[in-house]
Amino acid sequence: MDIPYTVQPREDTGLFNAKVGIWLFLASEVMLFGALFSSYILLRIGSPDWLYGEAKHLNIPIGTFNTAVLITSSITMVMAWASLKLRQFDKYKLYLGLTVLLGLVFMVVKGFEYRDKFQHGLFPATHTFYAIYFTLTGLHALHVLGGMAMNAYLWGPGSKMWRTEPERLTNRVEVSGLFWHFVDLVWIFLFPVLYLL
């Protein structure tokens, strides 16, 4: 039996089912990160010795670079989807491939940042700031990894669907893109909150 409403919109919602599903999932993600952001606020206003500025030992140029990397990956993601809409499969492969690569660049840079912290003896248990820093950035990095896995599948074996069900693949890429943009959106708040304030 075929899964219904993968391409055609449902009469009551006016949307294909996966789009409703991903938005519901993203709503739950807002609450997940919301809980951690409220923890950050509570820890910050309640801490007698919160770390500010250089005392955090966070590298602002590297954080800025990673922000630019994720923003760039967001536009390549949306261009991958737009390429499918324009029936340009080669461009789709190029843009989605770039999106996965940019995700990898973000993770490698984050890995170097983590290594630098550990080498300087800065661990989650070192200070309340580092506890919430590693929790927030760690959870975010897991989301980046999840998004990369999904996009890598849609770039590789999943792209075969273009030959049989092009509209369905386009919708899958749109849903994957919504998740990827959400990951970018979370980082847009994490960067100033953790690195700059």
Q: Which of 8, 42, 57, 126 binds other proteins (CB under 8 A)?
A: 42
Q: Which of 7, 82, 107, 131 binds other proteins (CB under 8 A)?
A: 82
Q: Is 25 in the site for other proteins (CB under 8 A)?
A: no
Length, in residues, of the chain: 197
At a CB cut-off of 8 Å and minimum separation 6, what does 62 contact?
109, 112, 113
- Whole-angstrom CA distances from 69 to 64, 65, 167, 193 are 9, 6, 29, 18
Please tell me the distance from the alpha carbon of residue 119 to that of residue 142, in angstroms, as a whole number: 22
- Residues 132 and 43 sit within 8 Å (Cβ to Cβ): yes
Site for other proteins in 112-151 (CB under 8 A): none
CB of 1 to other proteins, least distance (A): 26
Q: Is 32 in the site for other proteins (CB under 8 A)?
A: no
With CB under 8 A as the contact rule, which of the stretches 17-25, 106-114, 133-141, 142-150 interacts with other proteins?
A: 17-25
Query: Taken in order 20, 88, 106, 69, is the CA torsion positive or negative?
Result: negative
Q: Token digits for 100? A: 């996965």
Q: Which is nearer to other proteins, 43 or 104 (CB)?
A: 43
Which spans of this chain sit near other proteins (rule: CB under 8 A)? 13-15, 19-20, 23-24, 27, 30-31, 34-35, 37-39, 41-42, 45-50, 52, 60, 64, 67-68, 71-72, 74-75, 77-79, 82, 85-86, 177-178, 181-182, 184-185, 188-189, 191-193, 196-197
